[in-house]
Structure 1
Amino acid sequence: MRLALGLAVLGMGLAGCGRAVDARAGAREAGFEAQFPPTGHLLEVGSTTIHAHVEGTGPDLILLHGASGNSRDFTFDLVDRLKDRYRVIAFDRPGLGWSDPIGAQTANPIAQAELLRAAADQLGVRDPIVLGHSYGGAVALAWAARAPSDTAALVIVSGATMPWPGDLTGWYAFIGTPLGDRVGPPLLTALAPLALGDAIMAGIFAPQPLPPGYADYIGVGLAVRRENYRANAAQISGLRPYLRVMAPLYPQLTLPVEILHGDQDTIVPAFVHAEPLARALPDAALTILPGQGHMPQHGDPQAIVDAIDRAAARAGLR
């Protein structure tokens, strides 16, 4: 909250410096984008560009990243562990990484799933296993709900999948206000040191350490672009109402689902999300990972690989 208040005061103080702030933000964005170009294909889905990183051969495996992230979270390490036996397709979700936002629907995980399914169709994807991490878990469930007969299995990792109690505070509450939307992203893009991103990532990974080389690879600069800030904040702030609509539909999903969650995850707690999700789904297997926080795809990647293989076997793909 102190960050939000500080930005508000700073924003009012810099009201006459808008052009300078925008110019500085634009220059930093251009530098970030040059430093972290797309690693895969840019697909045109209607009027929307979607970024897809594709590697490997075998059954189709879709990877959907979490909040503030992009497909580089998976290409850092996990894709290399899977591409020998799956065709792995890691998408940037709408509004993040190199994928365009979708206007008022950017915060809608169901609309995200529909758009990404259309992109997957362009790649000839058939009966995929769909893995979603964190916010991506909600998109994966929406994917299966909209195409239950064309989705082989789900793997939900640290998924934000159930309506949670309480309200968001601090940065996300502030950025959802008209003042926050106007002043927050430009000021942070223009002025925030990248070391702030490193500190935030360290908190997301806790209690595990940040993997060596991850901060340099993931492209923190992509996440601090103005429109990325806005899209990410809208998605996090707007997720819960969609989960209220989606959760009653979970018992209708009869496909195999592997659910993995760290017992030390304080960002998306297992007792709020993974455990009730496992009870709601007819064919779910829940694995609680001892000592793991919110990023087990890095803290215990073999557990994720094993869950994908189990899902493939349960779906008859292996």
Structure 2
Amino acid sequence: MALGIAAVLTGCTATYRTAEAERAFPPIGKFVTVDGGARVHYIQAGDGPDVVLIHGAGGNLRDFKFDLFDRLTDHYRVTAFDRPGLGYTDRYPGIADGPFATAGESPRQQATMLREAALALGVHDPVVVGHSFGGIVAYAWAVMGLDEDSPVNASAMVSFAGVAMPWPGELGPYYQINGSAFGGAVTIPLISAFVPTSKVEDVIEGTFAPQAAPDGYAEYIGAPLALRPETFRANVRQVNTLRPHAVELSQRYPELTLPIEILHGTADTTVPIDIHSEKVISLVASAHLTRMSGVGHMPHHVDPEAAIAAIDRAAARAGLR
């Protein structure tokens, strides 16, 4: 009886917090439907060459809308997407998504959905920009262009502290447990229902460390959306199942010839520069790395002018400017 009551209480509390999160942080963009009936949430504005923005793990398109998006629209047509399963974008069609499932969308599956959405929106020859987990989705987008003749093939790519390569060792227990069937059914509902707001704020500050998050960022980003059980499950499963896909994708990197600009902080402990971006530039002759001394995992917020300059360089190298 005690376990049953606890389960009901947890479920009701998680449902209430989900409703509150969606009331406080509703969709700020529009939706486009892709093959399989999935809806992709996006924002689009501006004129000029196309730039596509892909956010990182646990986030949503509000990360870019907080600052960088509006800085770009004077010179580019900018499209930011919620990645599959996050924000207000549906999961990849057909993927198992129940409490006991463990599947996560691969970078290629995510790129497939976003490329279909971009095609429906008339995007062509975009500069594809990815932050953190969005970085490896951007690399997948670029690799797909090696095999497909499509208007949405990337003309250039930009990585902000992007995941790119397989890492040594294993992920910590947070992802291993929450990405498991047990975690999906037990620990995620508990965290969704009862984790305090202060813990969410601590995670945000940890992501920016050693810098501080900009004023107003935590209030704008909609972090409670990431605590919704379905979103939480999608995020941890994508991360927990990522490494084999990174191994596979990285084998294609030497074939890439498109301009690649990388911004990566030397103090990034979330996606360490030596494991990821330093290795990319040894594999891809067209990749250029800007090392940002003492910067953590959020270079596009720490120095938005450097982020814009990286996009401008990529566009110029691709002949778009």
**How does the TM-score come out when normalised to structure 1?**
0.94
Q: 1:125 aligns with which of 123, 131, 141?
A: 123
Secondary structure at 1:245 match in 2: helix
- In 1: Cα distance, 2:297 partner to 2:6 partner: 39
2:41 equivalent in structure 1:
51
- In 2: Cα distance, 1:89 partner to 1:120 partner: 8
Secondary structure at 2:130 match in 1: strand
Q: Where do 1:62-141 residues align within 5 Å? A: 62-102=52-92, 103-104=95-96, 106-141=104-139
How far residue 170 of structure 1 moved from its aligned partner, in angstroms, is: 2.2
Q: 1:275 aligns with which of 275, 278, 289?
A: 278
Asked if the contact 2:44–2:78 (Cα under 8 Å) also holds between the matched residues in 1, the reply is yes
Over the aligned positions, Cα root-mean-square deviation in angstroms equals 1.4
- In 1: Cα distance, 2:242 partner to 2:34 partner: 23
Asked if the contact 1:110–1:142 (Cα under 8 Å) also holds between the matched residues in 2, the reply is yes
- In 1: Cα distance, 2:237 partner to 2:180 partner: 11
- In 1: Cα distance, 2:237 partner to 2:213 partner: 26
How far residue 15 of structure 1 moved from its aligned partner, in angstroms, is: 5.0
Give the counterpart letter for 2:305 in structure 1: Q
- In 1: Cα distance, 2:64 partner to 2:241 partner: 25
2:100 equivalent in structure 1:
none
Asked if the contact 1:51–1:91 (Cα under 8 Å) also holds between the matched residues in 2, the reply is yes
1:142 equivalent in structure 2:
140
Asked if the contact 1:278–1:286 (Cα under 8 Å) also holds between the matched residues in 2, the reply is yes
1:297 equivalent in structure 2:
300
Q: Where do 1:155-304 residues align within 5 Å? A: 155-304=158-307
Q: How many residues align?
A: 307
- In 2: Cα distance, 1:95 partner to 1:261 partner: 26
Asked if the contact 2:257–2:286 (Cα under 8 Å) also holds between the matched residues in 1, the reply is yes
- In 1: Cα distance, 2:259 partner to 2:186 partner: 45
Greater share of residues in helix: 1
Secondary structure at 1:155 match in 2: strand
Secondary structure at 1:67 match in 2: coil
Give the counterpart letter for 2:64 in structure 1: F
Asked if the contact 2:104–2:239 (Cα under 8 Å) also holds between the matched residues in 1, the reply is no
Q: 2:7 aligns with which of 8, 18, 32?
A: 18
How far residue 171 of structure 1 moved from its aligned partner, in angstroms, is: 1.1
Asked if the contact 2:63–2:221 (Cα under 8 Å) also holds between the matched residues in 1, the reply is yes
How far residue 291 of structure 1 moved from its aligned partner, in angstroms, is: 1.5
CA 1:303 to 1:188, structure 2 compared with 1: closer, same or farther past 3 Å? Answer: same
- In 1: Cα distance, 2:157 partner to 2:104 partner: 22
Secondary structure at 2:312 match in 1: helix
Give the counterpart letter for 1:27 in structure 2: Y
- In 2: Cα distance, 1:220 partner to 1:132 partner: 19
Asked if the contact 2:49–2:126 (Cα under 8 Å) also holds between the matched residues in 1, the reply is yes
Q: Which runs of 4+ in 1 moved over 6 A?
A: none
Which ranges in structure 2 are unaligned for 5 or more consecutive residues?
97-102
How far residue 17 of structure 1 moved from its aligned partner, in angstroms, is: 2.1
**How does the TM-score come out when normalised to structure 2?**
0.93
- In 2: Cα distance, 1:96 partner to 1:287 partner: 29
- In 2: Cα distance, 1:70 partner to 1:282 partner: 31
How far residue 14 of structure 1 moved from its aligned partner, in angstroms, is: 4.3
How far residue 240 of structure 1 moved from its aligned partner, in angstroms, is: 0.6
1:221-271 Cα distance to aligned partner (Å, 9 max, x none):
101000111011011111110011011100111100001100010111100
- In 2: Cα distance, 1:207 partner to 1:174 partner: 27
- In 1: Cα distance, 2:30 partner to 2:175 partner: 31
Give the counterpart letter for 1:242 in structure 2: H
